[in-house]
Amino acid sequence: MHLDNPQQLIDWHDKIIAKQKKIKKKILVCCGPGCLANGAQDIIDKFKTVLKEKKISGFTVEALKETGCHGFCEQGPLVVMEPKGLYYTKVKVKDVEDIIEQSIKNDKIIDRLLYNDPQTDKKIERYQDIKFYSHQKKVVLNNLGNINQCNIEDYIANDGYQALSKVITSMSPQKVIDTITKSGLRGRGGAGFPTGRKWATCRKVESDTHYVICNGDEGDPGAFMDRALMEGDPFSVLEGMTIAAFAVGAKQGYIYVREEYPLAVVNLQKAIEIANEKGLLGDNILGTDFSFNIKISRGAGAFVCGESSALMKSVAGEVGEPRAKYVRSVVKGLYDRPTVLNNVETFANVPIIIRKGASWYQKIGTPKNSGTKAFSLVGKVRNTGLIEVAMGTTLREIIYDIGGGIIDDRPFKAVQTGGPSGGCLPASKLDLPVDFDSLNEAGSMMGSGGMIVMDDLTCMVDVAKYFLGFLVNESCGKCVPCREGLYQLHALTVKVSEGKAEEADLEKMEKLSEMVIIGSLCGLGKSGPNPLLSTIKYFRDEYMAHIRDKRCPAGVCRALITYKITDACTGCMACIAPCPTNAITGKKNEMHVIDQELCTKCGACFAVCRYDAILVS
Amino acid sequence: MKHNLDKLSAIFNRYPQNRESLIAVLQDIQKEYHYLPEEALQATAKTLDVPLSKVFSVATFYNAFSHYPRGEKIIRICVGTTCHIRGAHLVQEQLENRLNIKAGSTTKDLKYTLETVNCVGACSQAPVVIVNNKYYGHVKVSDAKKLLRSK
Ligand SMILES: Cc1cc2nc3c(=O)[nH]c(=O)nc-3n(C[C@H](O)[C@H](O)[C@H](O)COP(=O)(O)O)c2cc1C
Ligand code: FES
């Protein structure tokens, strides 16, 4: 059915609601990035076969939903049963028949699949009662985990496309821009530029064509919010882009998706086709004279292509090198035309703001940082997953209340935000409210939303070395300060990690960082030294331990550590075969020894030892 | 190496034949042949009417493109931040030792290719290794052998 006017959308919405009301019970299987990696697809397939074999009255395959990321990846694969919110964790294929037999047919709860709260050691039945969920505020991620990934009926049943309809029927482009400006929405791609202001500038530029581009490059390693949104709620991104196109007067849009996300491409493509078919995208949207088309452009594995001018070159099929920004891309962007570029999450916020109003949105978060922010909470934290909190929530609430603290109750050391452009914040900053400005002030950055928690076994010199190595690889090489400066900074961190640096090298690094920041052409170089500077600022002692004492306190930097076997060794021989250099000798039931000459410190023995008998020092 | 280039025309036909399609075409060629054969680059330049030098510069700029034939089994180790702090480099070293090649290369018998990738968005399962599109999470140093044998 093609929708030829806004009224038909309303009618369709009512029809879908009436139809869905009849579905009393629903099984939601999480197909987010984490659960998929854990075998969610096999679980879906099994559910389908079993449901086909066994006819269950009042329950059809339609009530089985393949949803986007439900959030609690650590506990995946997840299966949720509505309406109660009954929540099963770590589900395996062999549990599927049980779930159908007991929980669907007979409304019984399967105890062994429930989540066990580690603090109280009690089982929890409903996900809403789990601390990981109860401390969050879901706005932009609300559909994920609730609706079928590429199902437009589910999207519409959850008020999808009402915003677009409202914009087309009752708002002028200027009014749309005013609403977004008033909501205080700032770009979720990292820098936090006010979205309304960007749109307003673009609209004012006279041109034969305007473009709208969605940045789905998600280059920060350790971040997967945008992946989860593009895969799990693609229509919200399309609707947001379409509204932006209406506001700035664009007819053509692009979504730039990173190549590591093949499923995002598939789901977005499907969603685009469906939206076109329904008249919610393409020519004469909802029967009006407003037309907008979206094409997908796949990235090819270059971090720098997340940067606006490089991304636009890449969309045009060229080498993704940034250019100087004395003329901004909202004025002269793709094919030298005025172009609005926003992040995936930014666009996904737009329909919600239009639907619920700017003042509603503005009340969430803090005055200068309204709304919520999605994060991927990962690293050495107990509850890893995809979360969303109101801006201004403290790091402590995120890491301890939602994240459940550090794995094995080890001490918290640092949290890394903002990817290679961000920094590491220490325990003294745990009460920092998380928003664009506070993070910048503390020497880090919001970035696109990766939040990587580190414990005392993570070496800050190693982290700085890691990010600089990453950036050396990813620098496009066009400007010297970035290409050579980051290279030298990386070499200096290598020197520190090998215990060969002197105190003067620290100063050298700080000075050189300053030059890289001032001299680089684009954001990659300009923010590249941040991980280094923030670790020197907050963890100077650790640098000094490497430099002065030739010691790596976290036991990570290879040149400075040794592996030793302690008398906890039972002589089980498990470590002997994995050692690639045959450095370990020993007989059954006798303590083993490592030949330090042969040991390459690869950690293979440490990883297999079940008796904590291998000591790193 | 000679290739059956018949499949190229099907790839070209998927896209408008202009500059904007260059990266998408190269991606599809890579998907088909697992790397970019030289003849295919020449055909691309001709069909899309882009100078061969430009095709080469794009093909060499982006990490996703390979210029050498790759192995039957492509093992990609995630070395994103989360995987790194959870020990991805140790896993990488084990695989490199066992295959006797460095990441970014292919064994002589064309059986294995070892590559690294910066985050595949499954960070909650870190460290992650992908073998021919199948994800393995929470990989341990001692899993190297299992990964090599996996399908
Ligand atoms: C090196 C570099 C990499 C970037 N990578 C991304 C990215 O992966 N995703 C993203 O949304 N923005 C990224 N950005 C920011 C974009 O340039 C741009 O500011 C953003 O997409 C604008 O959208 P927003 O206003 O909605 O945040 C990157 C910037 C730089 C300098
Ligand atoms: S860092 Fe490895 S999957 Fe994200």
Domains assigned to chain A: 23-129 (3.40.30.10), 152-362 (3.40.50.11540), 366-458 (3.10.20.600), 461-547 (1.20.1440.230), 562-617 (3.30.70.20)
Q: What angle do CA B22, B8, A215 make, to 5 degrees?
A: 30
Q: What six digits make up the tokens of A107?
A: 């409304």
Residue contact A319–B57, C-beta within 8 A? yes
Mean pLDDT of A77-96: 94
Q: In the predicted model, is pLDDT for residue A24 greater than 90?
A: no
A366-403 pLDDT, tens per residue? 999 999 999 999 999 999 999 999 999 999 999 999 99
Model pLDDT, residue A617: 83
For tokens 């609403």, what's the residue? A179
Is the CB of A450 less than 8 angstroms away from the CB of B61? Answer: no
Which ligand is the nearest neighbour of the Cα of B82?
2
> Is the minimum CB–CB distance between A531 and chain B shorter than 8 Å?
no
> Which pLDDT band, with edges at 50, 70 and 90, does A606 fall under?
confident
Q: Give A323-362 pLDDT, tens digit per residue.
A: 988 889 999 999 999 999 999 999 999 999 999 999 999 9
pLDDT of residue A577: 85
% of chain A surpassing 90 pLDDT = 86
CB distance from A307 to chain B under 8 Å? no
* B133 confidence band (pLDDT: 50, 70, 90): confident
Tokens coding A450: 């990766």
Q: Does the model's pTM come out above 0.90?
A: yes
Element (H, E) at B27: helix B22-33
Residue type, B143: D
Residue A83 pLDDT greater than 90, yes or no: no
Question: What does the pLDDT average to over A80-97?
Answer: 93
Token pair for residue A115? 């989540």
**What is the mean pLDDT of the segment spanning B48-53?**
96
Beta strands A64-67 and A26-30 are parallel
Cis, peptide link before residue A83, omega less than 30° from 0: yes
pLDDT of residue A588: 92
Q: In chain B, what are the domain boundaries?
A: 6-61, 73-149
Q: How many Å apart are CA A199 and CA B143, to the nearest integer?
A: 51
Q: What's the confidence (pLDDT) of residue A580? A: 81
Q: Please state the rounded mean pLDDT for residues A280-294.
A: 97
Contact call for residues A79 and A145 (beta carbons, < 8 A): no
Residues 6+ apart with CB under 8 A from B82: A221, A222, A378, A379, A452, B119, B123, B126
Q: What is the overall mean pLDDT for chain A?
A: 94
Q: Which amino acid is at A443?
A: G
Mean pLDDT of A34-42: 91
Cα separation, A256 vs B66, in Å, equals: 21
Does the pLDDT of residue A176 top 90, yes or no? Answer: yes
Hey, what are A603's tokens?
A: 């950690």
pLDDT the model gives residue B42: 95
| CATH number, domain B73-149 | 3.40.30.10
CB atoms within 10 A of CB A211: 24
Chain-chain contact of B62 with A467 (C-beta, under 8 angstroms):
no
What's residue A33's pLDDT? 87
How many CA atoms within 13 Å lie on the side-chain side of A105? 12
On whether any CB of chain A is under 8 Å from the CB of B74, the answer is no
Compute the C-alpha angle A383/B137/A66, nearest 5°: 75
Range name among A260-269, A378-387, A428-437, B138-147 with the lowest pLDDT average: B138-147
Reading the block at residue A211, the tokens are: 């473009």
Q: Which of A343, A349, A369 to mutate for ligand 1's pocket (most ligand atoms within 8 Å of CB)?
A: A343
- Confidence grade of residue A169 (pLDDT, cut at 50, 70, 90): very high
Q: What pLDDT is recorded for position B2? A: 60
> Residue A303: is its pLDDT beyond 70?
yes
CA dist list (Å): A601 to A57, A525, A552, A566, A581: 61, 33, 14, 16, 10
Q: Is the pLDDT of residue A543 over 90?
A: yes
Strand segments, DSSP code E, in chain B are 73-78, 105-106, 112-117, 129-131, 134-136
Residue-level pLDDT at A268 = 97
The closest of A457, A382, A318, A365 to A374, measured between CA atoms, is A365
The ligand 2 atom nearest the CA atom of B84: 1
State yes or no: ipTM above 0.85.
Answer: yes
CA distance A226 to chain B (A): 9
Is B61's CB within 8 Å of A74's CB? no
Dihedrals φ, ψ of A614, to 5°? -105, 125
Give residue B3's pLDDT: 67
Which residue is closest in CA terms to ligand 1's atom 8?
A218
**Looking at the predicted structure, is the pLDDT value of residue B1 above 70?**
no
Distance from residue A149's CA to the centre of ligand 1 (Å): 25
Give the single-character DSSP code of A70.
-
Ligand showing the shortest atom-to-Cα distance for residue A195? 1
| Short-list A438, A410, A435, A414, CA closest to A425 | A414
% of residues, chain A, pLDDT over 70: 100
Give the helix/strand (H/E) hosting A86: strand A86-88
How far apart CA B69 and CA B33 sit, in angstroms, is 8
Contact yes or no for A482/A528 (Cβ under 8 A): yes
Q: Does A298 touch chain B (CB under 8 A)?
A: yes
